[in-house]
Chains A and B, each alone.
Chain A
């Protein structure tokens, strides 16, 4: 794939037939991030897959009764019958309706958990990276201790103690993301702290919080957005897994992870109850992963490799 978007000549060349030449920007300035992501095949596929599932998840709850004729908790027939488009689930509810209604909470919780992880992780990582010295060592060793625990084990522990509430789920997944994000944020911060603009800001006695927020943060968004995409993928996986284990969304809520668990027993009789949510989760995680990859390539340097 050629990379016209990053070629200064192409950027600068006016389109054929254009009457006016737009004011010339800096020849080395690259296009905005979304354009660079979209320019890659991976990026396109990622965007399309993610958007498709997000659309289903967002619009599904509203469309479910209208499209399938049943609400997500209404009984359509006996369990595991082929009534309706996708048949019935383990309680005789419409699989179609529950599938449409089952993605919203998963998506919302995943995004919230990732956001929480980003905020906490960034703060810790930037402070560590910027402060350096003993502060850095203490923060990062504490960080390493948390990192040593497998994420799902910590989540299971918290949920068993605090109960399977939405906020517990979001908090625990978010907080277990934080140390991983903190590592990335710290590494990126270390890369910019010695830059001249930081020194300049320090010379002007700009408060440290302001330096972190105004000078450091905008300059580490590249690696952070990659990390955010990856963490979103993990959040989706973790929350769906917890639901599957019965520790996430509680019945009778419609939820993809829960649906897989409820209906897997009858995979051979009525596979839709498992296949639909599995496909949705798979497509969503692949989509966000590709997207994160594309973001990584778009931000890591000015050269985008052909793919």
Chain B
């Protein structure tokens, strides 16, 4: 990928819509209905804790997978704009549908490694400007027709259509053309070398579709096919008999949309659904204490940084930025904001990238050094800053409050200005002097292209550095992984020393499910419910 991404997409494949969708409810939307829903949910939680487990049951998790059954999945954030298009995924439910209806060439596995799906292998030429993809044998779409190289070429063309670019087009900015060499071989020609094209293909919004693809009547090669779909309400999927890999255990998957988290939790507790995606971390304990429930707690690369704009006072002084970074007690952040469900960060993103610099000295709160830096920068008596926060993701407003408390020790007075999500992403977005953000798991190069170069679409800190950008360009064209990682490391050093992000930690993705749901595994992508890979899930025998 040579050109910077033109929209915020990546492993999670979505834009600000997802950010909103994953966030806490916008304050204004707390209507009476919400309150009522909330009190109902809370009421049922009360009932739950009162009679702790009247319906306890045993599930043999070691027994071989059971075939059949319907998995009912509760999700929130859907709307009438929900989509079943393979390449336009906006909210979390769209992702779930795309992942289960369609199959990509490669995907990110639970450990965030590249795993081959429809592609058997892929390799670049000597300079990385042409990649050759080899498909598996006997691939079929869910309607029984053959999946060939032509369909892959069509998929590339559809995603990168200059008239109507789809979600993943930004990652394929250097795409020139794709050529079907034979039935199982595709050559992808790029406008400039890209050593990490596999990352751009390992997106769930990159599922292969047939040449006569009609989004109204979707045909894909995923583990399930569509049975019925009502936007904002429900989606029913049934097993795809022509799936290339091990057939899914489940007969059907029902995705049900709930309007808010309270209703979602309520549905799980009343067994209206078998599993729910993303629960508030504060509820982990209460759900774990219920004998019927289990919690899936996945470490991810999701980060909730503070963003200091490096081109405005006082953050234009690197000493101030360092002082702010040293004002944060990262362990305390994890404890107070995430109830301990996360890992501390070191002002560096992409913890799953092989190049992640684990040997950089871990920054932690250093009051004396921070005060010294502030005083050197001309603030011997401390300073007052305004921190703009919004419930864009659970934990963000909380993090602002904890930071305000910690910064007091250093002499920084943080005035919190809480706005609603719409205002936060409104005209002032990317202009806030000191604000917050959140990003899902990504590797270093695509992440930096999205947020740390002059062309980056979401450069929240306004930090640009020619040396850094040159290093990114060179690294992207470097086919040798060791040499590439060396280059990335130099870039990381620039970001670590000079950047405007305070990356205090990586939050876990926490989902809940009934204990008879088996096959869900911890997944690092940040997508709920084991990355929505329902093909691995089965309903255990209850005794």
Listed in ascending order, the chain A residues whose CB lies under 8 Å from chain B are 73-75, 78-80, 90-92, 156, 160, 163-164, 244-247, 250-252, 261, 264-269
On chain B, which size bracket covers the interface?
A: 20 to 34
| B339 and A252 contact, CB distance less than 8 A | no
Residues of A within 8 A of B398 (CB): 90-91
Determine which of B49, B262, B400, B420 lies in contact with A251 in the assembled complex, contact meaning CB atoms within 8 Å: B400
Residues of B within 8 A of A246 (CB): 27, 30, 391, 418, 420
Residues of B within 8 A of A92 (CB): 335-336
Residues of B within 8 A of A156 (CB): 28
Q: Which of A91, A164, A244, A264 has the most CB of B within 10 A?
A: A91
Residues of A within 8 A of B416 (CB): 250-252
Separation of A267 and B35 alpha carbons in the complex (Å): 13
Residues of B within 8 A of A91 (CB): 336-337, 398, 401-402
Determine which of B285, B332, B397 lies in contact with A80 in the assembled complex, contact meaning CB atoms within 8 Å: B285
Known: A156-B28, A252-B405. A164 touches B285 (CB 8 A): no
Q: Within 8 Å of chain A (Cβ to Cβ): is B46? A: yes
| B27 and A245 contact, CB distance less than 8 A | yes
Residues of A within 8 A of B114 (CB): none
Listed in ascending order, the chain B residues whose CB lies under 8 Å from chain A are 27-28, 30, 38, 42, 45-46, 48-49, 261-262, 280, 282-283, 285-286, 332, 335-337, 339-340, 391, 397-398, 400-402, 404-405, 416-418, 420
Residue contacts A-B, CB under 8 angstroms, 19 given: A75-B335, A75-B405, A91-B337, A91-B398, A92-B335, A246-B27, A246-B391, A246-B418, A250-B417, A250-B418, A252-B404, A252-B416, A265-B261, A266-B282, A267-B42, A268-B46, A268-B49, A269-B282, A269-B283
Determine which of A73, A244, A267, A268 lies in contact with B405 in the assembled complex, contact meaning CB atoms within 8 Å: A73
Question: A151 CB to closest chain B CB, in angstroms?
Answer: 15
| A79 and B339 contact, CB distance less than 8 A | yes
Separation of A74 and B283 alpha carbons in the complex (Å): 22
Known: A252-B416, A267-B42, A268-B286. A75 touches B28 (CB 8 A): no
Known: A246-B418, A264-B42. A269 touches B286 (CB 8 A): yes
Residues of B within 8 A of A261 (CB): 30
Residue of A nearest to B279 (CB): A265
Determine which of A78, A267, A269 lies in contact with B335 in the assembled complex, contact meaning CB atoms within 8 Å: A78
Q: Which of A75, A252, A261 has the most CB of B within 10 A?
A: A252
| A267 and B397 contact, CB distance less than 8 A | no
| B283 and A265 contact, CB distance less than 8 A | yes
| B48 and A164 contact, CB distance less than 8 A | no
Separation of A100 and B469 alpha carbons in the complex (Å): 53
Separation of A252 and B403 alpha carbons in the complex (Å): 10
| A78 and B45 contact, CB distance less than 8 A | no
Question: A252 CB to closest chain B CB, in angstroms?
Answer: 4
Question: A257 CB to closest chain B CB, in angstroms?
Answer: 12
| A268 and B417 contact, CB distance less than 8 A | no
Residue of A nearest to B269 (CB): A268
Residues of A within 8 A of B340 (CB): 78
| A245 and B28 contact, CB distance less than 8 A | yes
| B27 and A247 contact, CB distance less than 8 A | yes
| B282 and A244 contact, CB distance less than 8 A | no
Question: A213 CB to closest chain B CB, in angstroms?
Answer: 42
| B30 and A266 contact, CB distance less than 8 A | no
Separation of A79 and B284 alpha carbons in the complex (Å): 11
| A244 and B30 contact, CB distance less than 8 A | yes
Given contacts A75-B332, A90-B398, A268-B46, 8 further A-B contacts (CB under 8 A): A74-B405, A245-B27, A245-B28, A245-B30, A246-B30, A265-B262, A265-B282, A268-B286
Question: A128 CB to closest chain B CB, in angstroms?
Answer: 35
Separation of A119 and B440 alpha carbons in the complex (Å): 54
Residues of B within 8 A of A74 (CB): 405
Residue of B nearest to A274 (CB): B42
Separation of A298 and B383 alpha carbons in the complex (Å): 55
Determine which of A90, A266, A268 lies in contact with B48 in the assembled complex, contact meaning CB atoms within 8 Å: A268
| A164 and B418 contact, CB distance less than 8 A | yes
Determine which of A78, A264, A268 lies in contact with B38 in the assembled complex, contact meaning CB atoms within 8 Å: A264
| B285 and A269 contact, CB distance less than 8 A | yes
Give the 6 A-B CB pairs with smallest separation, nearest first.
A246-B27, A268-B45, A267-B42, A252-B401, A92-B336, A268-B49
Residues of B within 8 A of A160 (CB): 28, 420
Q: Which of B46, B286, B332, B337 has the most CB of A within 10 A?
A: B286
Separation of A80 and B400 alpha carbons in the complex (Å): 18
Question: B163 CB to closest chain A CB, in angstroms?
Answer: 38
Separation of A244 and B27 alpha carbons in the complex (Å): 9
Question: B37 CB to closest chain A CB, in angstroms?
Answer: 11
Separation of A245 and B420 alpha carbons in the complex (Å): 10
Question: B483 CB to closest chain A CB, in angstroms?
Answer: 44
| B418 and A266 contact, CB distance less than 8 A | no
Separation of A263 and B45 alpha carbons in the complex (Å): 14
Q: Which of A78, A79, A80, A268 has the most CB of B within 10 A?
A: A268
Residue of A nearest to B285 (CB): A269
Question: B495 CB to closest chain A CB, in angstroms?
Answer: 29
Residue of B nearest to A92 (CB): B336
Separation of A91 and B398 alpha carbons in the complex (Å): 7
| B336 and A79 contact, CB distance less than 8 A | yes
Residues of B within 8 A of A245 (CB): 27-28, 30
Residues of A within 8 A of B42 (CB): 264, 267-268
Question: A152 CB to closest chain B CB, in angstroms?
Answer: 11
Separation of A114 and B418 alpha carbons in the complex (Å): 26
Separation of A68 and B356 alpha carbons in the complex (Å): 44
Residues of B within 8 A of A163 (CB): 417
Separation of A245 and B391 alpha carbons in the complex (Å): 12
| A266 and B335 contact, CB distance less than 8 A | no
Question: B407 CB to closest chain A CB, in angstroms?
Answer: 11
Known: A247-B27, A268-B42. A90 touches B418 (CB 8 A): no
| B400 and A75 contact, CB distance less than 8 A | no
Separation of A92 and B418 alpha carbons in the complex (Å): 20
Question: B499 CB to closest chain A CB, in angstroms?
Answer: 27
